[in-house]
């Protein structure tokens, strides 16, 4: 029987190096002869303390494909900008070197979507401190599964009374105007993100059910600006290229499933995740595809171990979920 998996992939808050830059242009480069980049001289800029809805100043609207400018004032603070998007929009957010004063140190956080009671929530969907130029902030890929209004918050640790510029560039999904078909064999570039809290809670509960069966679920996003979907083979290649999954590369006959058929391959206590994944990411089951790899080994007397790596492609929402399940003799 094909059962199990292991090898935990580390979840990185923002790990999107090398993402496709379609629609948003190339990453901003420092002009020749400009002042040198300095790093690690300022304090970290954390997310604003919650609840922030009552005190955060909202400075205006940030359009996808555009930019806004504001001023840090004379003390450390935060301010927000409304970002309205269609479902499955993908953007890059950056406090740009161009248009931002020398020495400004920023943090960048995204909340939402806005609820009926007017709240954007208290836990950021995305965040970054110093991934941009110098000590400026950059989120190369933010995927918005739900349509609605989001809040992009800029914070700064030093009140230099200098201007900063915040840019939102379309990199894929619903914001791409007149998308073209994907070229043949187009790869996907994966960026790791934390799992949605509801999915994590379901996973934790199922993992407490019995000691000899355990599962992991990791989320990866990929920028995709094309009119035709990414392929399951491209998603599989990107996952298996990661070192934590190398143990599955030798399976000579992996299985491919429709998403509906995949449910029966999950241990029963984990099956509530099946529908929850679709609900969380706004995907139709008819679009989702799964490929499964198996490995079996012994760790000693009565120590047989079965592991299955299930690579789930959600092509419309631009997510790849890696569901690993393990079973061992006790």
For residue range 146-181, list pLDDT tens digits in order: 999 999 999 998 889 999 999 999 999 999 999 999
Distances (CA, A) of 177 to 61, 154, 231: 20, 28, 22
The pLDDT of residue 6 is above 50: no
Q: Where are the beta strands (DSSP E) in the chain?
A: 57-61, 66-71, 77-85, 89-95, 106-111, 126-128, 138-144, 148-156, 163-173, 191-193, 213-221, 255-258, 289-298, 304-314, 319-328
pLDDT band at 41 (very low <50, low <70, confident <90, very high): low
The string of pLDDT tens digits covering residues 253-305 is: 999 999 999 999 999 999 999 999 999 999 999 999 999 999 988 776 667 88
CB-based contact 86:147 (threshold 8 Å): yes
Q: Which residue has the tokens 């007149």?
A: 178
Rounded Cα distance between 5 and 290, Å, is 15
The string of pLDDT tens digits covering residues 224-239 is: 999 999 999 999 999 9
Rounded Cα distance between 308 and 248, Å, is 8
The pLDDT of residue 16 is above 80: no
What is the architecture of the domain spanning 191-328? 3-Layer(aba) Sandwich (3.40)
- CATH number for 57-173: choose from 2.30.40.10, 2.60.120.380, 3.40.50.620, 3.30.70.1450: 2.60.120.380
Residues 6+ apart with CB under 8 A from 323: 5, 215, 216, 217, 266, 273, 310, 312
pLDDT band at 4 (very low <50, low <70, confident <90, very high): very low
pLDDT band at 110 (very low <50, low <70, confident <90, very high): very high
Q: Who has greater pLDDT, 54 or 217?
A: 217
Residues 6+ apart with CB under 8 A from 166: 62, 67, 68, 69, 70, 81, 93, 94, 95, 96, 108, 152, 154
The string of pLDDT tens digits covering residues 198-227 is: 999 999 999 999 988 999 999 999 999 999
CB-based contact 321:328 (threshold 8 Å): no
As a whole number of Å, the end-to-end CA separation of the chain is 17
Rounded Cα distance between 263 and 280, Å, is 16
Over residues 127-154, the mean pLDDT reads 97
The pLDDT of residue 19 is above 60: no
Q: What is the pLDDT of residue 9?
A: 30
Joined together, the tokens standing for residue 111 give 């909340």
DSSP state of 18: T
Domain boundaries, the chain: 57-173, 191-328
* Strand-pair category, 57-61 with 89-95: unpaired
Joined together, the tokens standing for residue 16 give 């999107």
pTM summary value: 0.85
Rounded Cα distance between 264 and 250, Å, is 24
The pLDDT of residue 14 is above 50: no
């Amino acid at each position: 029987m094909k059962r199990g998996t292991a090898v935990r992939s580390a979840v990185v808050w923002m790990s999107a190096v090398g993402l496709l830059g379609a629609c948003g242009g190339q990453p901003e480069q420092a002009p020749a002869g400009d002042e040198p980049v300095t790093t690690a001289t300022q304090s970290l800029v954390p997310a604003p303390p919650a609840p922030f809805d009552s005190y955060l100043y909202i400075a205006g609207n940030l359009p996808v494909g555009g930019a806004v400018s504001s001023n840090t004032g004379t003390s450390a603070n935060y301010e927000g900008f409304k970002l309205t998007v269609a479902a499955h929009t993908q953007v890059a957010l950056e406090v740009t070197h161009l248009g931002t004063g020398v020495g400004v140190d920023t943090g960048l956080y995204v909340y939402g979507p806005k609820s009926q009671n007017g709240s954007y929530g208290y836990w950021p969907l995305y965040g970054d401190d110093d991934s941009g130029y110098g000590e400026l902030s950059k989120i190369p890929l933010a995927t918005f599964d739900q349509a609605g209004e989001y809040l992009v918050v800029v914070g700064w640790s030093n009140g230099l009374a200098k201007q900063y510029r915040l840019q939102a560039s379309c990199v894929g999904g619903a914001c791409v105007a007149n998308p073209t078909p994907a070229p043949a064999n187009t790869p996907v570039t994966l960026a790791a993100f934390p799992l949605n809290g509801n999915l994590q809670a379901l996973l934790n509960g199922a993992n407490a059910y019995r000691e000899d069966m355990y599962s992991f679920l990791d989320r990866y996003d990929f920028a995709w600006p094309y009119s035709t979907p990414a392929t399951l083979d491209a998603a599989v290649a990107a996952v298996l290229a990661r070192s934590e999954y190398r143990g599955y590369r030798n399976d000579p006959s992996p299985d491919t499933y429709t998403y509906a058929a995949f449910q029966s391959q999950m241990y029963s206590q984990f099956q509530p995740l099946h529908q929850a994944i679709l609900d969380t990411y706004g995907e139709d089951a008819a679009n989702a595809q799964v490929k499964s790899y198996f490995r079996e080994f012994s760790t000693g007397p009565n120590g047989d171990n079965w592991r299955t790596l299930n690579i789930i492609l959600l092509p419309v929402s631009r997510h790849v979920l890696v569901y690993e399940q393990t079973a061992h003799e006790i």
